[in-house]
Amino acid sequence: MTDPRYDVVAIGNAIVDVMAPCEDELIEELGLAKGGMTLVDTERAQELYDAMGRATEISGGSAANTLAGMAALGSQCAFVGQVAKDQLGDIFAHDIRAVGIDFDTQPREGDPPTARCLIFVTPDGERTMNTFLGASQFLPPAALDEELIASAGVLYLEGYLWDPEEPRSAMRRAIDVSRDAGRKVAFTASESFVIERHGDDFRALIEEGKIDILFVNEHELATLTGKTDFEAGLDALKDKVPTLVATRSAKGAVAIANGERAEVPAEPIAKVVDTTGAGDLFAAGFLTGHTRGENLETCLRMGAICAGEIISHIGARSEKDLNALVAEKLG
């Protein structure tokens, strides 16, 4: 087996994040589920956009955010995701390439337009996301560069993208290509509602041994296993995936790999400003450590450091030099 060209190649939603601060009253006025992620249609997306104050636009999507963190840490990454041939598609492509991520998926002609996530950030740092998936739902298997997939040490898959048929088929094919090449497959469950819809698929992938690294938070763990007790949930999965990573927000994170368990607290920060991308950046730190051969606790600490940095400001892109920050914190 040849050495990988990329540390990680990720497949995920190609979304432009539109982020704006707001008061709790606006969340109530718009009838939004505070702290959640809701899928919206074109009309609702326009209504919410019109209600936003001054906003920041940046390429986003869960897996893309993770790669941006990894690139900031010095990892070599590539992204596969579908945009439309429109202004937001151009913004996404330019922005993700500008942070050092290879992105060569061809834009799609016609409707629907490029996906966007409208994120309302309340004063307590909670983010309420409203996602119009648009063109990102139409990533076909034919869009995959199988040589690219096989050239990555780790294939990272975003659970959010499992919902629509075309990208689900593309990710299934990518898993086969990656495993045939002797590479690892990492999977993030993304959100409990995704598991509620596709839990049977996810559990089958786990049972078949097709997932090497599984990322869940404590709520997703409970939904996936049917165990409301955190430790019982860990016990249900720890022997089924080589590396299980479970995050618990302020309670820190746990990882279990081949019988070894490590646990770290959350990184202390002065104030939680915006939780957007916290899980994505945790995965960035952990995967960077993993691809560099760091031990389990160090991988967790790298994840916690990156997550701590990202929740200290608005947006899912680091404002500090992540490499320097990780080196300083790890000593």
pLDDT tens column, 70-116: 999 999 999 999 999 998 899 999 999 999 999 999 999 988 999 99
Give the pLDDT confidence of 211-222 residue by residue, as tens digits. Answer: 999 999 999 999
Identify which has the larger pLDDT, 277 or 236.
236
- Can you list the pairs that 168-175 forms with residues at least 24 positions away whose Cβ atoms lie under 8 Å? 168/201, 169/140, 169/141, 170/11, 170/80, 170/139, 170/140, 170/141, 170/143, 170/144, 171/11, 173/141, 173/144, 173/146, 174/11, 174/80, 174/144, 174/149, 175/205, 175/210
Edge-to-edge strands, sheet with 6-11: 102-103, 77-80, 6-11, 152-158, 184-188, 213-217, 243-247, 253-257, 260-264
Identify which has the larger pLDDT, 106 or 331.
106
pLDDT for 1 beyond 70: no
Task: State the average pLDDT over residues 112-124.
Answer: 91
What pLDDT does 137 receive?
A: 93
Q: What percent of the chain is modeled with pLDDT above 70?
A: 99
User: Tokens in use for 42?
Assistant: 């074109």
The pLDDT mean for the chain works out to 92
- Distance between CA atoms of 322 and 277, rounded to whole angstroms? 15
Contact 291, 283 (CB under 8 A): no
pLDDT for 8 beyond 90: yes
Residue 123: asked if its preceding bond is cis (omega within 30°), the reply is no
pLDDT for 199 beyond 70: yes
pLDDT for 315 beyond 80: no
Identify which has the larger pLDDT, 315 or 171.
171
What pLDDT does 155 receive?
A: 98
In CATH, which of 3.50.50.60, 3.90.550.10, 1.10.645.10, 3.40.1190.20 is domain 6-13+61-111+136-330? 3.40.1190.20
Nearest 5°: phi and psi at 215?
Answer: -105, 125
**Would you place residue 58 in the very low, low, confident or very high pLDDT band (cuts 50, 70, 90)?**
confident
Closest to 63 in 3D by CA, of 71, 52, 55: 71
pLDDT for 247 beyond 80: yes
Contact 190, 158 (CB under 8 A): yes
Q: In angstroms, how far is CA 119 from the centroid of its own chain?
A: 15
> For residue 9, which amino acid is it?
V
